[in-house]
Copies of this chain bind each other. A is one copy, B any other.
Amino acid sequence: MLEKVDLTKKVSKEEYKEKMEQLEVKLGRLQRESKALGIPVLIVFEGFGAAGKGLQIGHLIQSMDPRGFEVHPIKNETEEERMHPFMWRFWTKTPARGRIAIFDGSWYRRVLIDRFEKRTKSKDLPAAFHSINSFEQQLVEDGNLIIKLFLDIDKKEQKKRFDKLEKNKETAWRVSQGDRERNARYDEYASMMEDMLFKTDTDYAPWTIIESMDRRFATLKIYTTVIKAMADQIEKVKRQNAEKAAEKASVSKETSGAVDPVDEIAREADAQMRELQVSILSKADLSLSYTREEYKEKLDKLQKKLEKLHSELYRRRIPVVLGFEGWDAGGKGGAIKRLTARMDPRGYVVNPTASPNDIEKAHHYLWRFWRAMPKDGHVAIFDRTWYGRVMVERIEGFCTTEEWKRAYKEINDMEKDLYDAGAIVIKFWMHIDKDEQERRFKERQENPEKQWKITDEDWRNREKWDQYEDAVNEMLMRTSTDYAPWVVVEGNSKYYARVKVLKTVVDAIEARLKEE
């Protein structure tokens, strides 16, 4: 989940002030509502040292009624705590119905800092993760809301903050030897965090990454996340209560026409969240291009290289899974054509993914993709993939909200299975901008040879560009992993895009062969 985090987003002082005023009022209101409904809330702050957990908790509680929450700083265990099972200190701190418990550090320390410092042994990790998930699931099933925030900063920023703290006599004590050590071995620690996120990002208690380089941005995103989660939970409880009441009265549960203010808060938070969503796509530099000569030369070299690597893969029995997604007319077909140009056709298969047929519909949506997964030593290329679940199916309403929401984890699990079985897994997003798409659509329409490639549906999809962009950004964020990364391919220049795809595949294979 940390793969695609963009840490550059900022918020101006003015925008911050204006938005915060509204958010603070909303949070106060939601706290009162959730108290009245008896909803217990746990808010967990985790993340890198000096990312600003303490400061952000300070901001968050400003708009809360102090009689309704409690902050639990989770530091080294006390004598008393050490003499109990690890989860004891957290179980005993779970909030009563209607109350909010805020954790500055949490039960995750056992699989983060304690793991890094080898207080948690490798062999005890599976049990630790089991305990954590069991704890959270039990609480959620009992009606608790768990909001998990992960504050992310990069290595350089962390070092800068530590330096600044140390320079000041009053704050120097806050930087420990351990902090410095974790900064020095930042990448190693980050990979433990990634592992933790993979194992505990559940549908009942999902993580939200808070980009924390800019403190104002982080505060806004934390407020928005908490508000959205609380508003959703309040809605849910109200709906359940209404259903129960209706069942008792045995009447239709038609609701009155009046708009619930919480409903409105939820909708606004949704819009705000989209705004704060860091757009991975918008970071792509679409001006990148190659001349025809550059293209020819690079392409030829890479294709020859891949030809050799392909037989080496076969010899070493390494399977490869390549997924292609992207905007309509984004250049998937052309890229696949150049990719496979010199590959031995006995060693790869291109699987075009159309709408599921009847037999496919009669199975789990992943079934047809599992069937097409390559044997050891073979390459499977998918032109459109299992990610349809979180794009077209989500947007067109072909599946329920619960279904596409849980699909991120299902897909991550499947790709992890492939990776664990030795496969190289890469997913490409063929990216172009809206103008370029229009140009290509028109060109297709005007060219009799290409007319078959363009349908009314393509134009209809184009109208939903913004919806797709949101869905794609969320997908890239939630499913780009170190074992199966997403690669955004800058595609306005077809030459550039095709070379990038080939080079990415070649590099990944070479890296793997070196490992072995």
Residues of A at under 8 Å CB distance from B? Answer: 38, 40, 80, 82-88, 91-92, 94, 96-98, 124-127, 129-131, 134, 138-139, 141-142, 144, 199, 250-252, 254, 317, 319, 359, 362-367, 370-371, 373-377, 406, 409-410, 413, 416-418, 420-421, 423
Contact = CB atoms under 8 A, between A and B. Distances in A.
Contacts of A131: 413, 417, 420
Contacts of A376: 82-84
B413 A362 contact: no
A134 B413 contact: yes
B84 A373 contact: yes
Given A94-B364, A96-B363, A417-B131, A83 B377 contact: yes
Nearest to A317: B83
Say how many copies of this protein the assembly contains: 2
Contacts of A130: 199, 413, 416
28 contacts: A40-B363, A80-B375, A83-B375, A83-B377, A84-B421, A85-B373, A85-B420, A85-B421, A85-B423, A86-B417, A87-B417, A91-B366, A92-B370, A92-B371, A94-B363, A94-B364, A96-B362, A126-B129, A130-B199, A130-B413, A134-B409, A134-B413, A138-B364, A138-B410, A139-B364, A141-B406, A250-B252, A252-B252
Contacts of A251: 252
Nearest to A374: B84
Contacts of A88: 370, 373
Contacts of A94: 363-364, 367
A144 B363 CA distance: 9
A416 B85 CA distance: 10
A18 B101 CA distance: 60
Nearest to A138: B410
A96 B359 contact: yes
B138 A366 contact: yes
Contacts of A362: 38, 40, 96-98
Contacts of A87: 370, 417
Given A94-B363, A416-B127, A84 B134 contact: no
Given A251-B252, A371-B92, A417 B85 contact: yes
A91 B367 CA distance: 6
A375 B376 CA distance: 53
Nearest to A402: B141
A91 B368 CA distance: 9
Nearest to A87: B417
A153 B38 CA distance: 49
Which of A94, A319, A363, A421 gathers most chain B CB within 10 Å?
A363
A409 B133 CA distance: 12
Nearest to A79: B375
A413 to B, nearest CB: 4
A194 B470 CA distance: 46
Contacts of A126: 125-126, 129
Given A80-B375, A83-B319, 4 more contacts: A40-B362, A83-B317, A86-B421, A131-B420
A127 B195 CA distance: 12
A142 B364 contact: yes
Nearest to A369: B91
Contacts of A416: 127, 130
A237 to B, nearest CB: 15
Nearest to A144: B364
Contacts of A91: 366-367, 370-371
Nearest to A361: B97
